[in-house]
Structure 1
């Protein structure tokens, strides 16, 4: 599929979403349209797999009749193989096209659709893919009044959605293409743009994801593992996967249940085999789900300055115990950094997006920052990003790059890319040329006037471990030289104009027989 065809597919899907959601909020309708797209993908993948199994039998999967005894043996065999190979199973009458066609004919399909979605989940019970499919469709509440006040109204709307999606060719035959995955992420991004503050819970702008992904994969062709402790919809993890030839295993954790489901769907839509990803749902700071594991690459865009318990018992947790202080309960930023560096492999790289406050705030955060620099010496690079590039917040942010065994042990690189953006309607955007500038400075690690500075650890120490970027990258623009003679000439002209005005007012007052406010006027 060409780039033009991909853009057409994206536009088609977004038009369906916009046309059919009615008065429903964009973030509410998101779960329905994305869930139905995922169901269509599973159906098309099931058809492709079954037809491959049936190769040479002179019959296609969609043609199998479950009431035909001769066909039953095929259906049973395909189901067993499908669960083992692709992780789930569908029968011919459960396929997306079958239900969409019935909906077109005016049949009531809601109950059968709900049972089909439940059947997909149940088909994985007791298998290796069970965790990846468990309760995957729980956010598709087909009885919700958001879809319509009556069952018939809801059925009519759902039938329209299925019919529109059924008319689109997803073209999943090209196993090297992420066409549908790209379209899916496009929709996630479009929904994010209309979701306000909620968007930050599930989506990192693509250019920022690309920046982090390129940083943690620099000089590598494959990764043993990649991990995101606040993975949202999983887009950042998938961006890392795209930057290398292969990733053996993808790990993620997400606290929000709906977003967790979105992440699992996103993995499967990008053709990540169920055995090659492990995404868990829990609070990462209080209940980490991948204890004991370390990762080649760690990336994250955690919720900025989130609350957390900061329970003193965490001082016994190996993630936090060495620092002697916990991040404040009102700002969990440093707690995420501590968690991530704890699970970073000795030769790995981590990149995390954070608010600027982590660079200079004092108290316990200052203590943690000093330990990271003075005792661990793991902070490698700090990149200042523009303001207003994230959904839901306009604050400027930074990227911290940390390595346990870093090459440049005597310094920290500072890059000020705060002016690298294109102003768009609702927010600023990093462009490819901006990423090139940042990555070029990151790779070359040299001083660039008003853009990058390699600061020695002595400089850092002399600044009391304050990492605020303006302390190291001077972006001050000197004013043009002032010509005092020109200033004097303008002031003289203004003075003469003022005297003329005073005289006119004085004469006018005399004619009226009142006192002038300018008795000295001549």
Structure 2
């Protein structure tokens, strides 16, 4: 029943988004539809919570008169409780259903929507939740021409969105709380698939997220904290929570893109993560790290592949990079992210990061850093090759590196080549549950598997000059079948005789009918 409810909810939300966005790009409409779904979620949650508080008085939150002294007193008491429990508050007249109904009645509601979104944010000023709600709705520009050329056209579109969303029952039992959050992530993924690289930069495919989450919780299911330096919409952090065994897990992340940063905070709240349990910051992680003094039980990331960064020589004085002696190239920040993540990892933690294949074998500064990580630090634990074309917006093959700080000197490195195990999709290849299980079985046994996995000793890595290119370790070469030319020759002679026999049969048949043979028969 729960799964059916979830699938129906996903279908409804995507149909609304697809129907109403018109000529607007998926990437542009994303911020509006997801922001308004979030408004409805906050509204329904506040309404239920306030009704519980007022149940003994026999009244409902929507019935409180905001203009009377008694009503103001009641709302003041509810606000105090709501800010502590939920982190936000707004008035009954600002409930989603009230505003949506006004739109159905033909009223101009754009100003009302803008005001309530501002009031939600303003209600948190001075509260512990202020940082998590600050600027949360900045990307919902209700004056944008993308919504329509005139105020009336924009109002009509927003009114339709609210009307459709108001007709969906979002009420969920506490045990089903993730249904809406998962539907929200489904929408993020659907928008990402339709919006190309820009959206793909903040969305990690489900199976890849699941793999990373299982990797960092494998030896520590009770981990206390998880950190993602390029957290995007936050889906990877939330995936770790599903694999972990700690309901009080704390989430930390940083995201450079403002709209995606807002999306990550919304996503946390939609998954019922209390504002005190997450700390998501908006800035460039490599240049302005927000959590530099903290260490985390698990670190996961899907950084933008081969991104530009400053590579400022002053970074060599930074404790994240100083020990390596060289910086990642200006046009390829991949190893800069790896170094940053290692710095944030605690001594008993595990980190897993998705990177382009080039990090395995590129030379110069990257080769130097790679060798230092393996030879001097001994942090590398696994290299997993993934199929090509599984990320939105790019078809390049990728890999997962797993690193730990608590490895022993003679510990081996596990190489897995999972590049050939996937289902071919319309736009992107897809990793299946069976493909993930194949990888996980190899990790669990940590033994050589013909054409799939290889356990490399420190000596083997040294022999390869610390080049991690997977074919150097996992032999996937398939021998070509040897062709016996005498067999081929005999087959050709047989075919030729068959043709001749057939020609003679046709000649005889034609002679019986008294007609000309349509070709010359050669012996």
Shorter-chain TM-score: what band?
Answer: over 0.9
Shift in Å at residue 487 of structure 1?
A: 4.1
- Structure 1 range deviating more: 212-221 or 234-243: 212-221
1:212-255: per-residue Cα shift (whole Å, max 9, x none)? 00110114332211000000000000000111232431000000
**Structure 1 residue 292 corresponds to structure 2 residue 293:** yes
For the 8 Å contact 1:414–1:452, the answer to whether it is kept is yes
Q: What's the counterpart of residue 182 of structure 2?
A: 182
Q: Tell me the residue number matched to 1:252.
A: 253
Name the counterpart of 1:514.
none
Aligned length: 497
* Aligned counterparts of 2:408 and 2:7: Cα–Cα separation in 1: 42
Matched residue SS, 2:421: coil
**Structure 1 stretch 301-310 or stretch 199-208: which is displaced more?**
199-208
1:386-401 superposed matches below 5 A = 386-401=387-402
* d(CA) in 2 for partners of 1:315, 1:133: 36
Equivalent in the alignment of 1:346: 347
Alignment partner, residue 151 of structure 2: 151
Residue of structure 2 in register with 1:318 after alignment: 319
TM-superposed deviation, 1:488: 4.6
Task: Give the deviation of 1:489 after TM superposition.
Answer: 4.5
Bigger shift: residues 214-223 or 113-122: 214-223
Equivalent residue runs for 1:209-358 within 5 Å: 209-246=209-246, 247-358=248-359
Q: Is the 8 A contact 1:377 1:409 kept in 2?
A: no
Q: What is the TM-score of this pair, normalised by structure 2?
A: 0.93
Q: Which residue of 2 aligns with 1:102?
A: 102
Matched ranges for 1:310-459 at <5 A = 310-406=311-407, 409-459=410-460
Which structure 2 residue ranges, 5 or more long, are not aligned?
Answer: 498-523
Q: CA deviation at 1:408?
A: 8.1
Shift of 1:68: 3.1
Distance 1:35 1:410 in 2: 48
Q: Is the Cα contact below 8 Å between 2:224 and 2:249 reproduced in 1?
A: yes
The answer as to whether partners of 1:334 and 1:365 remain within 8 angstroms in 2 is yes
CA–CA distance in structure 1, aligned partners of residues 416 and 231 of structure 2: 26
Residues 1:493 and 1:310: Cα distance change in structure 2 (over 3 Å) = farther
2:46: which partner in 1?
A: 46
Distance in 2 (alpha carbons) for counterparts of 1:18 and 1:91: 31
Which digits, 9 at most, give the CA deviation of each residue in 1:50-82, with x for residues without a partner? 111112110011111212333222111101111
Aligned-partner Cα distance in 2 for 1:329–1:449: 39
Q: Residue 492 of structure 1: CA displacement?
A: 8.1
1:264 offset after TM fit, Å?
A: 0.4
The SS at the match of 2:88 is coil
Corresponding residue for residue 125 of structure 1: 125
Which 10-residue stretch deviates more, 160-169 or 406-415?
A: 406-415
CA contact (8 A) 2:216 2:352 kept: yes
State the distance in 2 between where 1:220 and 1:459 align.
29
Report the equivalent of 2:82: 82
Instruction: Tell me which residue corresponds to 2:17.
Output: 17
Q: Per the alignment, in what secondary structure is the counterpart of residue 222 of structure 1?
A: coil
SS across alignment from 2:76: helix
Please report how far the alpha carbon of residue 43 of structure 1 lies from its aligned counterpart in structure 2 after TM superposition: 0.4
Partner in structure 2 of residue 506 of structure 1: none
* C-alpha separation in 2, matches of 1:251 and 1:451: 35
- Partner SS state of residue 194, structure 1: helix
| 1:79–1:89 contact (8 Å) kept in structure 2 | yes
1:152-205 per-residue CA deviation (whole Å, 9 max, x = no partner) reads: 111111111101000101123325530110000000000001011112221111
1:481 deviation in Å? 2.7
Kept after mapping to 1: 8 A contact 2:2/2:176:
no
Q: Deviations over 1:13-62 (max 9, x none)?
A: 00000111111000000000000000000001101111111121100111
Query: Per-residue deviation at 1:8?
Result: 0.7
Please state whether the residue corresponding to 1:367 is helix, strand or coil.
helix
Whole-Å separation in 2 of the counterparts to 1:276 and 1:172: 22
CA pair 416-408 structure 1, distance change in 2 beyond 3 A: farther
- CA shift for structure 1 position 409: 4.0
Q: Which residue of 2 aligns with 1:135?
A: 135
Q: For residues 496 and 20 of structure 2, what CA distance do their matches in structure 1 show?
A: 68
